[in-house]
Amino acid sequence: MLIDALWGDEPPAAAGTALNALISKVRASVEPGTITGRTHLGLVLPEPVIVDVEMAMAAVHAAESAISRGDWRAAWAPALSAHFVARRGFLPEADAAWSEVWRRRLAEVDLRALECYATACLEMGGTELAGAERAARQLIEQAPLRETAHLLLMRTLVARGNVAEALAQYERLRVLLRDELGVSPSPGLREAWAGLLR
């Protein structure tokens, strides 16, 4: 299984020997942790063990929970932590199928974290509005069809006194959705746009 994960369909001629050499190098590099076993390998690390991907997933969950309670300050830090971890990506040099699954999961964590961070900053207002705008714009760049991102940006622009820019953002989204999917913005977005016009 390890040979398949490392070399896929094209393992080296002496795959077992190459794997043993690689494991020996890894054993030296993970100290003070240890790799146990010969046929079934395990990694034992000294406590405390922090796995950044797990930390990002827990942090974004904490941020989303705080957002659902309306506790903007409690959402701010975990959302930002999850974003900082998730934006690094997952093992960019690995091209195995399992690594692509984790890459997609981490990319989704990043989108959720940006949305939480933008929401928290928007609701806190004041000097945090600039952070809300940056996060909403980054969210749109990464997921152009995510309507909640466009709504966050529109609301932030209005909070910063840029109503005309918010209307222009709605128009960009309307055209994008029409051209890409042949649909109109959701009722919530249309309602926000109508409110701006009033």
Q: Are residues 125 and 187 in the same domain?
A: yes
Q: Are residues 16 and 69 in the same domain?
A: no
pLDDT at 163: 93
Distance from C-alpha of 153 to C-alpha of 193, rounded to nearest angstrom: 12
* Contact call for residues 43 and 30 (beta carbons, < 8 A): yes
- Summary mean pLDDT of the chain: 88
pLDDT at 25: 77
Tens of pLDDT, residue by residue over 71-82, are 999 999 999 999
Please tell me the total number of residues recorded for the chain in this structure.
Answer: 198
Amino acid at 48: P
Residue 46, pLDDT above cutoff 70? yes
Dihedral angle, C-alpha 156, 57, 109, 186, nearest 10 ° = -60
Tens of pLDDT, residue by residue over 80-114, are 999 999 998 877 777 777 778 888 999 999 999 99
Q: Are residues 39 and 108 in the same domain?
A: no
CB atoms within 10 A of CB 80: 20
Quote the domain boundaries for residue 177: 52-197
pLDDT at 99: 78
Q: Are residues 36 and 95 in the same domain?
A: no
pTM listed for this prediction: 0.78
| CATH number for 121 | 1.25.40.10
Q: Are residues 121 and 26 in the same domain?
A: no
Distance from C-alpha of 112 to C-alpha of 149, rounded to nearest angstrom: 10
Query: How many domains would you assign to the chain?
Result: 2
- For residues 54-69, average pLDDT: 96
Q: Are residues 161 and 107 in the same domain?
A: yes
pLDDT at 5: 66
